[in-house]
Amino acid sequence: MPTIANTAPAPLSDHWADETLTLLEALIARPSVTPQDAGCLELIGERLSALGFALERMDGGPAEARVSNLWALKPGTDPEGEILVFAGHTDVVPTGDLNHWHSDPFVPSIRDGKLYGRGAADMKTSLAAMVVAVEHFVRKHAKHRGGIAFLLTSDEEGPALHGTKLCVEQLRARGQRMDYCIVGEPTSVQQLGDTVKNGRRGSLSGRLRVLGVQGHVAYPQLARNPVHEAAAALAELVATSWDSGNAHFPATSFQISNVQAGTGAGNVIPGDFWVDFNFRFSTESTAESLKSRVHALLDAHQLRYELSWTLSGQPFLTPVGTLSQALSAAILHHTGVQTELSTTGGTSDGRFIATLCPQVVEFGPLNASIHKIDEYVPLDQLGPLAAIYAKTLENLLL
């Protein structure tokens, strides 16, 4: 459905944009390529501490690739009040060839109404807007009933083993309650607020090794070509309909990402054939059902093979409810946009948080430039984004 703008946005002071921009520029100037945090959490922590948040570092991982994590909590006046968590990551992907950038990716630069820099869209704008939103909310509502928390990591763009996943495990072990969570992923497609993610597909990867017998191409009877033997099975895997999806998720997809065989010589039959593939799966399938079907198919083709699996995340879904309604109302109030709920796209740390928190959604600025050269955020989205987060706090915690 097309996005409908049917109300005039509420007037907004320039302070929202100015404050968000100042913090955003400071965050972009910190070259926090995964797993480096480069001081982003210290900067954010100082702002939260001044508001009365209790800060707890939950760093993890090996010394050579240490991950920075922060859990910050400010209880409300009601011990039984709901807790809203703002979640996100300070790490960014590598810049690529600096010669292709029109300005230094770690020197925030404004051109033609946009702020350029690595992490501008994914996701330092959201982090800055969340902090500014909470500052405004706490100043206006010092005795807020519900609690506010931040769950931040420097390991989302990388392996994601010692970041949010680790924090959630520790928080679960101590019985920490979460009622709502907004992950600041850049979800907007054409205009701010047009898309909110209320779920994500699961991700299951396989690494297949088909075993053959190496030999001379002129004597195929003395060898066994694993590429030839695997061809029919791979074609069937590609053609298989794994499920039809449902009202919330598209059909499960299967994609081959890498293949490798041979010695590089043109007269040698390879002895091994390696294939990497991935499932993005809906709630109509499970990791175990997909594994079982793949093994059955390979066995039916009488292949000799080895297959290892990596489950990056289970699918999750937050049905329409208190959180999505509060956020949608805030978006409509400040942008006039009627938002659409979606489960498309890749994985996020929401998959870990959803195992502890019953309502998880993702919302942030325009995603057109994420992971690209000259990543940017439109300046006119900064103030409204912070105001939307603050309005959502009002809708839920007062």
Of the candidates 230, 253, 221, the residue with the CA atom closest to the CA atom of residue 299: 230
Q: Which one-letter amino acid corresponds to residue 313?
A: G
Catalytic-labelled residue, pool 19, 37, 82, 156: 156
Q: Is 80 labelled a binding residue?
A: no
Q: Rounded distance, CA 285 to CA 200, Å?
A: 13
The order of strands in the sheet holding 272-281 is 253-261, 272-281, 202-211, 305-313
Evaluate whether 330 touches 391 at the Cβ level (below 8 Å).
yes
Q: Is 185 labelled a binding residue?
A: yes
Reply yes or no: is the peptide bond before residue 358 cis, omega within 30 of 0.
no
Cα–Cα distances (Å) from 193 to 5, 254, 378, in that order, read 10, 30, 13
Of the candidates 305, 379, 314, 391, the residue with the CA atom closest to the CA atom of residue 347: 314
Element (H, E) at 140: helix 125-140
Of the candidates 120, 163, 41, the residue with the CA atom closest to the CA atom of residue 385: 120
Catalytic-labelled residue, pool 19, 25, 59, 91: 91
Cα–Cα distances (Å) from 172 to 80, 110, 396, in that order, read 18, 42, 23
Q: Is 216 labelled a binding residue?
A: no
Q: What is the dihedral of CA 178, 179, 183, 188, to 10 degrees?
A: 180
Q: Is 18 labelled a binding residue?
A: no
Q: Is 155 labelled a binding residue?
A: no
Active site residue 91: yes
Positions annotated as catalytic residues are 91, 156
Question: What residues are designated binding site for Zn(2+)?
Answer: 89, 122, 157, 185, 371
